[in-house]
Amino acid sequence: MSDNKVILVMSSDTPKGLAGDEDLCDALRGHGIEPVLRNWDDPSADWSEGRFAVLRSAPNYAHCRDEFLRWARSVPKLVNPPDILEWNTDKHYLRELEKLGMPIIPTTWLEPNSGLTKHQVHTRFPAYGDFVVKPTVSSGGRGVGRYTSTSATSRMEAIDHAMTLLSEGSGVMIQRYMEEIETHGEVSIVYYNGVISHTVQKTPMLHSASDDPEPEEIVTARYSTQEEWGWGEQVRRYIHDYIKLTSQHDTQVLYDRIDLVADGKGSYYVMEIGLVEGNLYLDSSREAVDHFADAIIQRFYW
């Protein structure tokens, strides 16, 4: 193991990482830290060659979550740690945080062991407006579909979508589509070592199930409003309180991303929390890269 190396964990699908990861490597080298890129799904990788490993890009974990978690537990020192990854790779974590008081988009949860019929699934859809069907384990919006309540064809497609997910052993989330995403966009606030780094505004990315599942997304870096900052801090406390209650690890995660959307009532819902490998929007600003490099370097002295 080299004392000046850190492993940046990628995947066979994204061996060079996400946009901005090349800049992150350059920033680390500028501080005398040598980044080593390795794919989590490469059985020949040596996970002891760096001081620690930072998970950067593993979007394929959703297709083989059990295998991914076995790998995570085998890595000598991985940040964020494996038990946090296990919790955050299943969106049931939102239901657990809701019980602590965190506001999430109202969600109907369907479980694969409930034996629901098509009619029973149908009755759980909203009666008006657009809605979203998504698996409880997914990455990058994969497996997510948007449907229209008043269209018989669309409702049938939604039923088939939900039944397919349930038959594959996946939990299903049914949520009202937030029109506020189209009018106000979605806000992501990124923290490193518990300190806010940067905020981005994102255009909507969900379309009907027949459209491109990963349409182009426009991301704009900007400062958080005072209200957004306050909500981000509140949600971060929920996260750390939960981790403290359930984890054997220090509650300070290396990175977390909080996705917010206006609730139409003057406040916010939490859409998602990224503690795994989610996009940290490193390409949105130079500060996003430099702050992350600084946070990784700080870990060398913890």
Q: Which H helix or E strand runs over 135? A: strand 130-135
Report the C-alpha gap between 226 and 173 in whole angstroms.
31
Q: What pLDDT, on a 0 to 100 scale, did the predictor assign at position 212?
A: 47
Report the C-alpha gap between 134 and 170 in whole angstroms.
10
- Domain range summary for the chain, segments of one domain joined by +: 5-88, 92-103+179-285+293-299, 107-176
Report the C-alpha gap between 68 and 86 in whole angstroms.
9
Report the C-alpha gap between 290 and 282 in whole angstroms.
9
| 92-103+179-285+293-299 and 107-176: identical CATH topology | no
Provide CB contacts within 8 A for 48, sequence distance 6+: 1, 76
Query: Would you tell me which CATH number, out of the four given (3.30.930, 3.40.50, 2.60.310, 3.30.2320), belongs to the domain 5-88?
Result: 3.40.50
DSSP designation for 224: P
Q: What are phi and psi of 2, to 5 degrees?
A: -100, 135
Q: What pLDDT, on a 0 to 100 scale, did the predictor assign at position 36?
A: 97
Query: Would you tell me which CATH number, out of the four given (3.30.1490, 3.40.50, 3.20.14, 3.30.70), belongs to the domain 107-176?
Result: 3.30.1490
Q: What pLDDT, on a 0 to 100 scale, did the predictor assign at position 204?
A: 58
Report the C-alpha gap between 145 and 123 in whole angstroms.
18
Provide CB contacts within 8 A for 289, sequence distance 6+: 20, 23, 24, 27, 282
From first to last of its 302 residues, the chain has per-residue pLDDT tens of: 568 999 999 999 999 999 999 999 999 999 999 999 999 999 999 999 999 999 999 999 988 999 999 999 999 999 999 999 999 999 999 999 898 889 999 999 999 999 999 999 999 999 999 999 999 998 877 889 999 999 999 999 999 999 999 999 999 999 999 887 777 778 999 999 999 999 999 875 545 444 444 456 688 898 888 999 998 998 888 888 888 877 766 568 999 999 999 888 888 999 999 999 778 999 999 999 999 999 999 999 88
Cβ 5 vs Cβ 50: under 8 Å:
yes
Q: What pLDDT, on a 0 to 100 scale, did the predictor assign at position 29?
A: 97
Query: Would you tell me which CATH number, out of the four given (3.30.470.20, 3.30.930.10, 3.90.1140.10, 1.10.3720.10), belongs to the domain 92-103+179-285+293-299?
Result: 3.30.470.20
Q: What pLDDT, on a 0 to 100 scale, did the predictor assign at position 213?
A: 46
